[in-house]
Structure 1
Amino acid sequence: MKAATLRIFLSVHTWVGLASGMLLFIAFYAGAITVFVHELQGWERPAQATLSGPEAMAASQALVDRVLREQPQAAHGLTLSLPGDHGPRPSAYWYDGATGVQHKFVLEEGGDLHRSPGRGGFVEFIYDLHFTAGLPRTVGSYLFGVVCILYGLALVSGVVIYAPVFLKDLFALRMGRNIKRFWQDAHNVVGMLSLPFHIIFAWSGAVLTIGFLMLAPFQFLVFENKLMTVLERDFEIAPHVEPAGIVRPTLPVAELVRRAERALPGMHAESLFYHDVGDANGRVTAYGAIAQRRLNGFGGVVLNAATGEVVNALGPKDFQPGMAMLRGLQTLHYGNFGGFAMKWLYFLLGLAGAFLFYSGNLLWIEARRKRRQVAQPRRTRLVAALSIGVCLGCVAGVSAVFLAAALLPQAWIARSYFLVFFAAIAWAFVRSPARAAHELLWLCALLTAAIPLAGWIGSGEHVFGALLHGRWNRVLVDTTALAMAIAFWRMAVTTLSRGRTGDPNSVWALR
């Protein structure tokens, strides 16, 4: 390939990476943590026995009856999460179309109905951070859709740049006085070895965030505004029907679950979606896991809510092409396959992806510094401060979210993140890059190391007690937090050493 062509691809890779790198760092770091979504929910809650059998069905029925009695408008669309992976007790969710707010309902032990924002927990906040970087949900999702397209462009240009030396330098990690060469090797090795997963993340991220916008040209120019009608058969288990206007009582939760599991052998119902409850045409869709050797392990059964008649039942092997593709992309994006080992692989890949974008910014800084003078260009110091503030601010902010979830009221979950995040950015601009990086890494280490202590105070159970009683969710989160705190501490020590003994003509020098 001609040198001029390679320079064009290098320029594209550099500027696309700079434009999207810091947002992608937040997406990958938060995404790595949300891989363990069920384990995080188990860490947040105090020890509580999970309801099962007739007791679980009775509690679920009482919750549905209470919600529909106090919020009759929820009959148009109510989701019931059964006890299990989603929590030890049932919970119900209703999206209020008039206000655009989702509500969560749970029955407290005293029988009172507790109502809270549907996305107010710390796990939901970190999940939203993965898709929005803390921006308003709709704006952030659309922005990340565009970022995913830029991300794909950066992947393609990076492969083209690296292709000429692919075999020679694939496993090269040259450590020595040439710091730039070491970071370049690390950046290339992580990028190439995890390339298949990055392709999946870029593709699925774009489809899951702006998929419908990508269909807009076909909707209006090809299918004459009828594309959604055509695709409805692919993306729904059964077509929507209008209410009949005839009142009919809805079958009990236990009976609906029994009929759904009988209609789709092997499925274990995890949630029920009620639509037009109390109407003769009302329907209930049961979703649950099916143990099959397929990428997608979920099935669904649509029942008439009044009669229990099975309208349609779909297992993973029966999905239409559109639904199979969409569910497959969701499964690949979140790592919901392959068991616990795959979760750990996705967690490590998420952290490696965050390193990829952080190291890309460091390479840009290193390539543009003045090697014969102490003073560095303003743009170099600006990118260094932004990279440190945004990336390390995100890390420290996420750790602060864990502390707030364990010790403070729910309203402080988002506040704690943004307070730490913006304070870190301000600190990065006030201090020199080397000092800010060292000090913020210490902040990350301290906040992350405090997670097990906060969990102990909030739940009354420390990690050793959790180990003794088999509370593996708490053991997993606390031990991982301690391991990451040690890693941040070592990085802080290395950064300080580099600032003292490294090249004095650098933004990373303390002298």
Structure 2
Amino acid sequence: MKFSLPPALVKRYLQSHSWIGLAMAAVLYLVCISGTVTVFARYLDRWEQPDVQEFTQIDTAILNNVYRDLVEQTPDLAGDVLVMLPREGIPRASLVSSQGAWLLNQDGSRGKVLASPWTNMLISLHDHLHLPATWGMIVVSITGVLMTALIVSGFLSHPGIFRDAFHFRQGASPRLQQTDLHNRLSVWAAPFHLIIAVSGAYFGVAVLMNAIIASAFFGGDDEARLAEVFGGPPTLEQEVVPVNISRALATLEEIVPEADPFYVTIEDANSPSQYMLIGAHHTDRLIYAEQYRFDQNGDYIDNVGYTDGPVGRQAIFSVFRVHFGHFGGLPVMLLYGFLGIALCVVCVSGVNIWLNKRKHKDVINDIWPGFVWGVPVAILGSALISLLSGLSAVSAFWLLLALSTMLGLVIKTATITRRWLITASALLAGVLAAVHALVYGGDAFHGVALLINISLLVTGCLVIALMYLRKQR
């Protein structure tokens, strides 16, 4: 397939593609690599706290006692209370309130404090680059917009890109090899990349659009705008009693047997207007959850309408699962992981092509390999530091990334910088698995923890072996 565009127009598209890519390369790479890892966040959470009870069922009557105990211990409880239910894939229960967050044992007693600082660091890096949440989310979403522009301009600036979809010049110069790698992965993974770019752009752009919509159509009343999109709260005036979670869950099973509940939120807890919001999966829908509302006694009120409400409302609640691949189980997540790595390679190879085209070298040539290969070092190293010391995973990440980038400035040879940092990443992967086993003992040798630790060891060994084989050639 070949586009028929005037050469002058193709040249303009190529220039815009290059300048957008170069301007956003570092941010785009950080967003893509952190997003690739956070696809597996539900497993990383469990790896960070492997020494807790895991179960997929809990007696719903116990949940009533969990909430009563919370109210008795904190009579002035206010705000929302979240109870996460155990289920296949995430076999843990937890309680989150303004008083704290705890994992729950199967008998309803509180276990360890809920804590996954390293996983949360990766999520916040992907969501808002560790910047103030609102502004950071807008920056990341602008990255999604520009990524969409990169994808479109990339196709328009390469008329023969489909024709050459399987053309790879082995033994060619580094620039040509990088060009082929960049173009081939861009073609093969284009549908995925476009979905990720558009859905990623939505999250932060929505923040701006919401403010504009609230001002233009709701007189600045943000609560009215939220009610239109997400459904307004029910009007209730009750004599406050502890909510009956068990009855609400039983009622939901009766009226919507296909719903698979996975969380219960007590909205405006311990107040006359309190009510329960039960989030439930529907396996035949892409929505994150339908929300069913019950009064404090467990009587059904209504559903918010993500399964049968306005199309826009349904679409909004489907974006999350599409963006992170949380549908279709582990196979889809693995596919998202593989395609996410491909997207990272596209980001890096685009800059490599530009560097190889230039007739001179400067500080960018030294910084870039240190930054690119320093990110895996920073991710793995921050996990190790968090595991051993409890120090801030965010601070550890940026410190290690800064040191890796500085290493490139000191070495001033891209191949050596790359080799040192890849070796460091491989060693860190093995050390991280070993230290995790030492810290948690037998808990590190079963379930998800064992799977992740084996993956770390195998990846580290494989990287070292590939580097050795490449050096022997």
TM-score normalised over the length of structure 1: 0.82
Task: Report if the CA contact (8 A) 1:388-1:437 is conserved.
Answer: yes
Aligned to 2:361: 377
Q: 1:256–1:308: 8 Å Cα contact kept in structure 2?
A: yes
Say which SS state the counterpart of residue 269 (structure 1) adopts: strand
- The 3-state SS of whatever aligns with 1:447 is helix
CA distance in 2, matches of 1:184, 1:493: 25
Q: What do the CA deviations read for 1:173-223 (whole angstroms, capped 9, x no partner)?
A: 111132211110110111111111111111111111231303544544566
CA distance in 2, matches of 1:405, 1:262: 45
Q: Distance in 2 between matches of 1:61 and 1:89?
A: 17
Instruction: Describe how 1:317-332 pairs up with structure 2 within 5 A.
Output: 317-332=307-322
- How many residues were matched structurally? 468
Preserved CA contact (<8 Å) 1:9 1:160: yes
- State which of 389, 392, 397 in structure 2 corresponds to 1:417: 397
Relative to structure 1, is the Cα distance of residues 42 and 76 closer, same or farther in structure 2, using a 3 angstrom cutoff? Answer: closer
Structure 1 position 242, deviation (Å): 5.7
Deviations 1:90-138 (A, max 9, x none): 3222369xxxxxx42346899996896x775222221112122333433
More deviation, 186-195/251-260: 251-260
Which residue in 2 is equivalent to 1:100? none
Distance 1:315 1:50, change over 3 A: farther
Closer, same or farther: CA 87–176 of 1 in aligned 2, 3 Å: closer
Secondary structure, aligned partner of 1:300: strand
Deviation, structure 1 residue 249: 0.6
Q: Deviations over 1:262-321 (max 9, x none)?
A: 2321222211111123344321001122332x323632210011x322111367642431
| Equivalent position SS for 1:377 | coil
Task: Please give the per-residue CA displacement for 1:317-367, whole angstroms capped at 9, x wherever unaligned.
Answer: 424312211122111101011222111100101111111101111111001
Q: 1:439 offset after TM fit, Å?
A: 1.0
**How far apart, in 2, do the equivalents of 1:57 and 1:452 lie?**
39
Cα 1:52/1:204, change in 2 over 3 Å? closer
> Aligned equivalents of 1:385 and 1:120: distance in 2?
34
Q: 1:240 aligns with which of 230, 233, 250?
A: 233
Q: Name the counterpart of 1:449.
A: 430
| SS of the residue 2:167 aligns to | coil
Partner of 2:247: 255
Post-superposition offset of 1:494 = 8.0
Matched with 2:154 is 158
2:29, 2:74 → 1: CA distance?
41
Mapped contact 2:94–2:102 kept (Cα < 8 A)? yes
d(CA) in 1 for partners of 2:368 and 2:251?
55
With normalisation by structure 2, the TM-score equals 0.88
1:393 positional shift: 1.9
* Structure 1 position 49, deviation (Å): 3.7
Q: Superposition RMSD on alpha carbons, in Å? A: 3.1
CA contact (8 A) 1:9 1:161 kept: yes
Amino acid at match of 2:409: F
**Displacement, 1:486?**
4.1
**Quick one: which of 91, 95, 120 aligns to 1:92?**
95
How far apart, CA to CA, are the structure 1 residues paired with 2:108 and 2:318?
Answer: 40
- Structure 2 Cα separation of the partners of residues 495 and 203 of structure 1: 38
User: In 1, Cα distance between the equivalents of 2:21 and 2:466?
Assistant: 23
Residue 390 of structure 1: aligned partner: 371
Provide the rounded CA distance (Å) in 1 between the counterparts of 2:304 and 2:178. 49
Q: Given the alignment, which residue of 104, 111, 123 partners 2:101?
A: 104
Matched, 1:272 2:264: yes
The alignment status of 1:303 with 2:283, answered yes or no, reads: no
Instruction: Give the corresponding residue for 1:68.
Output: 71
Distance in 1, Cα, partners of 2:333 & 2:56: 26
User: Among 193, 198, 202, which residue is 2:197 paired with?
Assistant: 202
How has the CA–CA distance of structure 1 residues 475 and 242 changed in structure 2, closer, same or farther, with 3 Å as cutoff? same
Q: CA deviation at 1:224?
A: 5.2
Give the fraction of aligned pairs with identical amino acids, expressed as a percent.
20
Q: What is the CA–CA distance in structure 1 between the aligned matches of 2:211 and 2:52, rounded to whole Å?
A: 47
Q: In structure 1, what is the equivalent of residue 347 of structure 2?
A: 357
Aligned counterpart in structure 1 of residue 419 of structure 2, from 419, 430, 438: 438
Letter in 1 for 2:420: E
Residues 471-501 of structure 1: CA deviation (Å, up to 9, x unaligned): 2x1243123323432454367558878xxx9
- Provide the C-alpha distance between the structure 1 equivalents of 2:234 and 2:65, rounded to a whole number of angstroms: 27
